[in-house]
Structure 1
């Protein structure tokens, strides 16, 4: 059985040969061993840290998106979701608050406000097909309403939220370049509002897009700027502030700095919130622990990641999208520890049940499944793993 879609290792090999680089040369420039790189290229080792992917991409003189982005969007079982990306792209590239509306808004502001909140909720519920179908029209109408002056302040606030939804939705599908365009549109609206809370929220969205692109230095600066904009007083302030601070902890770890002070500050902010879910960010003590798992994985400390994961109860995570992220990160930790393949598959199956498209498009889930599949090929068992791989489009049709 052969993979009918590229994995990251195959793409690295293709780009390395295109660059005319030897295994030894690429490994040396990326700061990893030749043996590890060979295993990655052959699918015998999973890429499980953003910093390693970024180092390889830099050595190849390509972006992270070239390794983990749109080439993994070809998926027969998720066509409705992925088919929305061209329409979202057109809506974003056809709208600009500075040049006026291309067409008049088709709906009253009240309807647009309602749909903005509805799509934010649906994204967290992993109703990806519904979100994908509705976003293009919402983005176009909101920009037109703002440019026309139809309840301009409300329209601008809704643009910040709608582009935040778009950013995280597109990032989860691997369309990371387009996620940045969406986030930057939201920042444009926030600056026009001249409201520190909305500017901070838009900076968070931009930092998330940049993390997906591997631009960690700038992501860190934007997250720091978001935190500096706020003198927390209200719950919404604390939630945006805390989310921004924990983002700086993550970027610090990826860049090789100490994240502990930022983690403690985020934990302190979480103590001041009761979960109003400002801007649909779900900031809370549980959310901080989810970030701590991701930070431990970037620190190449799967033991700590697994220990923190054991402290998190799935029922304490309100958003379905965040449950999916937690289950995948938990699977990453157990996979790195070895000897827990059955538990890893169960976690990924649970994630797939909650968020099919997001799980199948997750670079981490795909890397785990690809590596485990090679090890399982000689076994008589592995039915559940092969079923998961097939739904990811990683097995040839029989």
Structure 2
């Protein structure tokens, strides 16, 4: 946006909307308003909206600072929509620290075991970031060191373990104001997986890399990074190959839904669903959580991305959270359900579901931009919804 103070708020919205290639109808839908509302904003018939809606507009339009929308003082969007975990600096330092010779060399079998334990902490805790932060810096140091100490098949397994550690770093850093570290974790995870020369490790790395691309709005790149890896897998070779193959189909589906390509999204979701059926209802990958529940939960996500809120609500009501042992995955599903009700402006349901998500995982909810923006918005309403939203705001750190 050019530095032109005389530009009105409406004119700024229009410039940013056109630059992003969105119609008024699309922009309105993405922020829960009508095409007519967007037109009224752009033509100056409505005043500048309050902070929660401003944040939604900034997110949809790819604005990093509200000043770009308002022309007023600088307010970084991330300072409101993203929360920083106290251990982020320690994780960043561990990622950037050079690997040096040590008096006691790490043991590859021990590192492998600790990687598995770290994933158990991630899925088994209601404060998963705090739980893994207690072990991640030392685990990353040792995993980076051990690849230099072993050869042959042991080295390939060590690189696969290192890739998993970087995936945990990426998950820890997600939805924090540390975008460069998220990209670094994704890139190093993919490099380690490629060094492992293991199609399964590369497939998992592609799944996590696609998350970063989707979060950055690079939907074509998200489809490409998983699409390029799918041919490396043989779904008939083993259960592991079938599970990774199904998960990558899901990756394409999610990226396509984000891009508004519903037909493509459901085509790839159907393929993923077929893989989940073939694996059996009792199958669940211990780290990625791929299985029947995850595929069905992401169908809710796809409906929400395609603005099929009614279908998403109906689909969500059919799922049993007892089928998913991961606290963070349950919380994510509940927030997607809340997003569907938010599109329908069912505010009581939104507050209820965000409260349930918070009980499942405090930190997944606290760091999710939608949850923070929705809570801010609901605090501006009257009655019990406002009171309940204020309690949620205290829990996620939006109020001191």
Q: 1:67 to 1:279 in 2, by over 3 A?
A: farther
| Alignment CA distance shift 1:279-1:217 (3 Å) | farther
Q: Tell me by how many angstroms 1:335 deviates.
A: 2.1
The residue number in structure 2 matching 1:146 is 147
| Residue 315 (1) aligns with residue 316 (2) | no
Query: Could you tell me how far 1:149 is from its partner in structure 2?
Result: 2.7
Secondary structure of the equivalent of 2:279?
coil
Structure 2 match to 1:255? 259
Residue 395 of structure 2 is matched in structure 1 by 391
Any gaps of 5 or more consecutive residues in structure 1? 1-14, 76-81, 96-100
Tell me which of the two structures has the higher relative contact order, counting C-alpha pairs closer than 8 angstroms and 6 or more residues apart: 1
**CA distance, structure 2, for counterparts of residue 325 and residue 360 of structure 1:** 11
Give the SS at the match of 2:307: coil
Output the CA distance in 1 between the equivalents of 2:392 and 2:386. 10
Alignment TM-score, normalising by the size of structure 2: 0.81
Cα deviation, residue 88, structure 1: 1.3
| Secondary structure of the structure 1 residue equivalent to 2:325 | coil
Equivalent residues in 2 for 1:107-122 (5 A)? Answer: 107-122=106-121
Unaligned ranges ≥5, structure 2: 28-37, 69-74
In structure 2, what is the Cα distance between the partners aligned to 1:279 and 1:21?
Answer: 53
* Corresponding residue for residue 92 of structure 1: 95
**In 2, Cα distance between equivalents of 1:117 and 1:68:** 36
In the superposition, the TM-score normalised over structure 1's length comes to: 0.81
Q: How does 1:206-221 map to 2 (within 5 A)?
A: 206-221=209-224
Which residue of the other structure, out of 303, 306, 309, is the alignment partner of 1:299?
306
Question: Are 2:289 and 1:282 equivalent residues in the alignment?
Answer: yes
User: Kindly tell me: are residues 45 and 69 of structure 1, through their superposed partners in 2, closer, same or farther at Cα, counting changes over 3 Å?
Assistant: closer
Q: Output the aligned Cα RMSD.
A: 3.1
Q: What pairs up with 1:173-252 in 2 under 5 angstroms?
A: 173=176, 175-233=178-236, 234-252=238-256
Partner of 2:35: none
1:351 and 2:357 equivalent?
A: yes
Alpha-carbon separation, structure 2, partners of 1:53 and 1:381: 24
Residue 276 of structure 1: CA displacement? 4.7
Distance 1:256 1:309 in 2: 20
The number of equivalent residue pairs is 363
User: What displacement does 1:70 show?
Assistant: 6.4
Q: 1:174 to 1:88 in 2, by over 3 A?
A: same
Name the structure 2 match of 1:134: 135
1:27 is matched with which residue? Answer: 13
Q: 1:335 to 1:256 in 2, by over 3 A?
A: closer
Structure 1: distance between partners of 2:270 and 2:385: 45
Q: 1:380 to 1:245 in 2, by over 3 A?
A: closer
